[in-house]
Structure 1
Amino acid sequence: MKINNNIQALNAYRNLHANQFSTSKNLEKLSSGLRINRAADDAAGLAISEKMRSQIRGLKMAERNAMDGISLMQTSEGAMQEVHTMLQRMRELAVQAANDTNTEYDREQIQKEIDQLKLEIDDISEKTEFNTRKLLNGYSAVMTTYDQTGNNINLQGYPVVTDANFKSGNYQVAVGDVEEYYEITQPAAGLGTTAPQPDIKFTNFPATDADEEMKFGEYTIRIRDVRPNEDAEIEILDPDGLPIGTKVVGIGDSGDEEMDIFGITINTEKIDSAGTVKVKMEATATITLNDADGNPIKSPRELTSTNGLFKHGGVEYQFNTSIVENETLEFTITNNALSFQIGPNTNQNVMIDIPKMDVVTLNIENVNVLTNEAANQAIFALDQAVNRLSDARAKLGAVQNRLEHTINNLQVTHENLTASESRIRDADMALEMTEFTRNNILNQSATAMLAQANQLPQGVLQLLQ
């Protein structure tokens, strides 16, 4: 028997301490609901779950960002809707003014309303805001500029950037291998061949004189009052449906293989009856987009224009028949597009550009209805403005639909990632309660056994009697 060291008591104390430590852990997990309260609980699990928490919180904020972005676009689109309504009213007034039942005085009164509507369109362009950010005044647009004297390729207007991810800076567009492209989409009156020698083509291509320039697109050729092998009346409409002119020419045996009619060469020898011919007259070209140093940033592509429009690498270029090959145009992009952070990580964003919507951009600044001719020109200009505005609204609507899908994806990802983080971090309350109950009983048992072990040395007293 020993008295200096009570080994049994030390053993009971060690087990009691271990049980109390386990019980403390159980209580901590039961009170917090977490399996991992500190790195010591599960170092790897803590690191993984903290990364997941960053993603979860980022996803929640990205969802809010996307919703805010939708609100901004709805504000812009709502303002555009009102501009659309005013354009439709202006067109209605132009149609009214085109009628010669109106006197000069009547047209002046109609013009007064049109002038006020133009002022209101400019006001909407300047005053539409979201969170004090102006939306329709061009501050959120992607704009291009270039030195007009350096337009070696005879570009019409400015390059139009459709990819809002382009960085601001200097760029070059090169045009090469320009060739004519013809397709008779509606053959009639004996005209229907496009290869190897087309029945209908541009007289001067490429045009070298301003008077010879013509639009690309689908032309309509109406052949009327036909006298076989003698003559017929030919009327030509441009791609906008506007008449270029009417001319009586010889046809059949009296015709020519190539006759220039208002800038369009027609094989009148083949005309044998009346009819309406439609022909697409476009161009093919190789388009290359380079950086300021001439290094390609978009691979060269051989493209066929649509109404003279070439689309390549997120930029659109408009031409007419004066297009010049083997030249390069230098232009500058100024990107003021809005960036919506729609993901939890770096650069997970979507760029939104909102074009300027004033009367100058819509090309209706000089619209008037003071004469029959001016009113008809106004109808055409307003149709173009309506189309331009429709394009902008459609783009915003498409992005809004995209963001709605983004929100749905963020919500699903948030849900699944939260479930994953929960499996790592959250405590199984039923299991913890089971272990707590077991450890609590062991604590009570260990306390009792420690008390018994502390009594063992008293047996030495019996030897001292």
Structure 2
Amino acid sequence: MATIFTNLLSANVLKNQAKDASQLSQALTRLSSGLRINSAKDDSAGQAIANRMTANLGADTVIGRGLDDGISLSETADGGLDSISQLLIRAKELAIRSVNDALSDSDRQSLQDEFQQISATIDQIAGNTEIFGKYPLAPAVAELPVQLGNVAPASSKFPVAGANYGFTSGIVSLAYIPAGATNIAMRIDSYSYDDDIQIFTRDGKHLVGTPLQGSDPDSTWASKGITSAAQADSSVITEANGFLPNASYDDSTLVQGGSSYDINGSATQNYNGMTITYSGDGDRYEDASTGGYNDGTVSSTNTQERITIDNVTEDLVVMVVGNGSFSARMTWGNMPTPTYTPAEPVKVSSATQIVTSANFGDELKTKTIEPTPSDSASLGLASTRLNPKDEASRALGALDKALDTVNGYRGEYGSTINSLESAKATLSAQTLATTAARSRIMDADYALEASNMTKAQIIQQASNAVLVQANQQPQIMLSLLKG
């Protein structure tokens, strides 16, 4: 039917032009963005799949950094353990030398002094090996005792009741016994040295021990330059040693020991509801012909000293005065451990969790790097001594065990490094494969899209030419009217 009002030919051309314009727009969008899928209408299923792949790739990037952190932590800890193992090897050499009968007592003491330096260095390495704010070699349990000056409570210095611990004597307080403790028994063995137990109150009262002034002062005090109350006030009765700020030396109630040495108690001190027994200083009973005292003699067989306290009613400061080293042990019925909240975080080793996989929809997979406490106490060396010979013989076993522990730790870190490096290699391969798969879904094929664009442009140009012809169709109707 020939009409003028409705031009169907033109309408068909315009419809096809709109379709061609949409295809051209899609091709241009893909070419300009580089993506095949620019919105959900392009490929909703493909977009969902690609989004999951993108989430996995983002997670893999973060996981890769975490794996590197785990490797760095393990390598740092292994480096610290290597230094500690070298120190333990040196300590064993010293122990073997100490067992040798050709050494004198002073030679063994020199070896003990070096061993104490080694032990302190091990503690320093364990406490200062740090990465990412973690201390993998520090003690596993935080010790938070209340200190009096620089003096820790007895429960900190003697963590295991009845176990032997080695210390160096001097005029620095060993520990304090807190009020509330009961049935305290402390024994020291100075071996070939004259080391003496001294018990003080925090206000400076010298309750039990050896005299430092008067008609019969003890040579041990004199060897440290303490021969008067004034010297004691300046060098002994200090806040750093746990005494009160205004404390002063007072020996008016000092109990030195009975008329003869008795390890179970030669004299008794009763003070402020406390009953304290004291064995006496064995070295001061060497020469009975001079009234029982012969200061300075170290050949006595009475190298041990002992105190007992039934009920501690106030904090007591324990000091062992001398010029050598000694072993000590303490037992108790009750021993309160005063604690406090530290102003700064305490260095402790803790487990470190490393994420190894976090794929979309799967359970999180992790690897845990366990803590490896490597301070001297954690390695079982707190009570180890190289003097005398018998102690050095026992030290060999303790050092072997400590070295085995360190070797085990290093083996764990080695396997952890290998495991994390393997996980990183697997993650890298997975990332590459996922990236390729996502590219096939999301990325535009430039050759195809360029062809589609050219095709759409040609069709659009052709349709414009056809539209001109379609618009001329109504003019044909005029020829009928003219006729």
- State whether TM-score is above 0.5: yes
AA matched with 2:372: P
Measured in 1, the distance between the counterparts of 2:378 and 2:50 equals 52
Measured in 2, the distance between the counterparts of 1:42 and 1:362 equals 63
In 1, are the aligned partners of 2:135 and 2:350 still within 8 Å (CA)?
no
In 2, are the aligned partners of 1:140 and 1:353 still within 8 Å (CA)?
no
In 2, are the aligned partners of 1:140 and 1:336 still within 8 Å (CA)?
no
Are 2:78 and 1:77 aligned?
Answer: yes
In 2, are the aligned partners of 1:23 and 1:436 still within 8 Å (CA)?
yes
Decide whether aligned partners of structure 1 residues 40 and 340 sit closer, same or farther in structure 2, where only a CA change above 3 A counts: same
Measured in 2, the distance between the counterparts of 1:108 and 1:70 equals 42
Measured in 2, the distance between the counterparts of 1:100 and 1:336 equals 44
In structure 2, the residue matched to 1:26 is 27
In structure 2, the residue matched to 1:445 is 462
Measured in 2, the distance between the counterparts of 1:88 and 1:139 equals 24
- Which residues of 2 match residues 188-203 of structure 1 at below 5 A? none
Measured in 2, the distance between the counterparts of 1:14 and 1:138 equals 80
Matched position secondary structure for 2:465 = helix
- Could you list the per-position Cα deviations for residues 17-63 of structure 1 after superposition, in whole angstroms to 9, with x for gaps in the alignment? 11111011011111112111111111111111111111121122212
In 2, are the aligned partners of 1:59 and 1:344 still within 8 Å (CA)?
yes
State TM-score, norm by structure 1: 0.56
Candidates 339, 363, 367, aligned match of 2:380: 363
In 1, are the aligned partners of 2:139 and 2:375 still within 8 Å (CA)?
no
Measured in 2, the distance between the counterparts of 1:112 and 1:3 equals 119
Matched position secondary structure for 1:100 = coil
Measured in 2, the distance between the counterparts of 1:138 and 1:368 equals 21
AA matched with 1:374: E
Candidates 418, 432, 439, aligned match of 1:422: 439
Moved more, 63-72 or 121-130: 121-130
Matched position secondary structure for 2:384 = coil
In 1, are the aligned partners of 2:140 and 2:350 still within 8 Å (CA)?
yes
Are 2:375 and 1:387 aligned?
Answer: no
- Could you list the per-position Cα deviations for residues 166-189 of structure 1 after superposition, in whole angstroms to 9, with x for gaps in the alignment? xxxxxxxxxxxxxxxxxxxxxxxx
- Which residues of 2 match residues 88-107 of structure 1 at below 5 A? 88-107=89-108
Deviation, structure 1 residue 370? 1.6
Measured in 1, the distance between the counterparts of 2:420 and 2:134 equals 20
Candidates 349, 358, 378, aligned match of 2:395: 378
In structure 1, the residue matched to 2:60 is 59
Deviation, structure 1 residue 3? 2.1
Measured in 2, the distance between the counterparts of 1:353 and 1:423 equals 42
- Which residues of 2 match residues 164-313 of structure 1 at below 5 A? none
Matched position secondary structure for 2:357 = coil
Deviation, structure 1 residue 139? 5.0
In structure 2, the residue matched to 1:410 is 427
In structure 1, the residue matched to 2:276 is none
AA matched with 1:340: I
Matched position secondary structure for 2:472 = helix
Measured in 2, the distance between the counterparts of 1:396 and 1:341 equals 17
Identity %: 33
AA matched with 1:115: Q
Are 2:356 and 1:339 aligned?
Answer: no
Matched position secondary structure for 1:373 = helix
Measured in 1, the distance between the counterparts of 2:136 and 2:468 equals 81
Q: What are the ranges of 5 or more consecutive residues in structure 2 without an aligned counterpart?
A: 143-348
- Which residues of 2 match residues 309-328 of structure 1 at below 5 A? none
Matched position secondary structure for 1:350 = strand
- Could you list the per-position Cα deviations for residues 414-437 of structure 1 after superposition, in whole angstroms to 9, with x for gaps in the alignment? 111111111111122111111111
Are 2:8 and 1:4 aligned?
Answer: no
Decide whether aligned partners of structure 1 residues 138 and 43 sit closer, same or farther in structure 2, where only a CA change above 3 A counts: farther
Measured in 1, the distance between the counterparts of 2:371 and 2:422 equals 21
- Which residues of 2 match residues 17-166 of structure 1 at below 5 A? 17-139=18-140
Measured in 2, the distance between the counterparts of 1:93 and 1:139 equals 28
Measured in 2, the distance between the counterparts of 1:336 and 1:100 equals 44
Deviation, structure 1 residue 103? 1.8
Matched position secondary structure for 2:90 = helix
Measured in 2, the distance between the counterparts of 1:33 and 1:353 equals 47
- Number of residue pairs matched? 272
Measured in 2, the distance between the counterparts of 1:336 and 1:4 equals 88
Matched position secondary structure for 1:40 = coil
AA matched with 1:447: N
Decide whether aligned partners of structure 1 residues 138 and 16 sit closer, same or farther in structure 2, where only a CA change above 3 A counts: farther
Moved more, 380-389 or 106-115: 106-115
Larger Rg: 2
Measured in 2, the distance between the counterparts of 1:21 and 1:387 equals 75
AA matched with 1:342: T
Q: What are the ranges of 5 or more consecutive residues in structure 1 without an aligned counterpart?
A: 142-334
Measured in 2, the distance between the counterparts of 1:44 and 1:339 equals 36
Measured in 1, the distance between the counterparts of 2:468 and 2:54 equals 48
Deviation, structure 1 residue 462? 4.1
Deviation, structure 1 residue 138? 4.1
Deviation, structure 1 residue 140? 9.6
- Could you list the per-position Cα deviations for residues 153-178 of structure 1 after superposition, in whole angstroms to 9, with x for gaps in the alignment? xxxxxxxxxxxxxxxxxxxxxxxxxx
Candidates 346, 349, 354, aligned match of 2:366: 349
In 2, are the aligned partners of 1:125 and 1:136 still within 8 Å (CA)?
yes
- Could you list the per-position Cα deviations for residues 299-349 of structure 1 after superposition, in whole angstroms to 9, with x for gaps in the alignment? xxxxxxxxxxxxxxxxxxxxxxxxxxxxxxxxxxxx952211111244211
In 1, are the aligned partners of 2:350 and 2:371 still within 8 Å (CA)?
no
Deviation, structure 1 residue 362? 0.7
Measured in 2, the distance between the counterparts of 1:133 and 1:450 equals 77
Measured in 1, the distance between the counterparts of 2:355 and 2:22 equals 47
Measured in 1, the distance between the counterparts of 2:448 and 2:112 equals 82
State TM-score, norm by structure 2: 0.54
Measured in 1, the distance between the counterparts of 2:387 and 2:399 equals 15
Measured in 2, the distance between the counterparts of 1:79 and 1:363 equals 18
In 1, are the aligned partners of 2:112 and 2:385 still within 8 Å (CA)?
yes
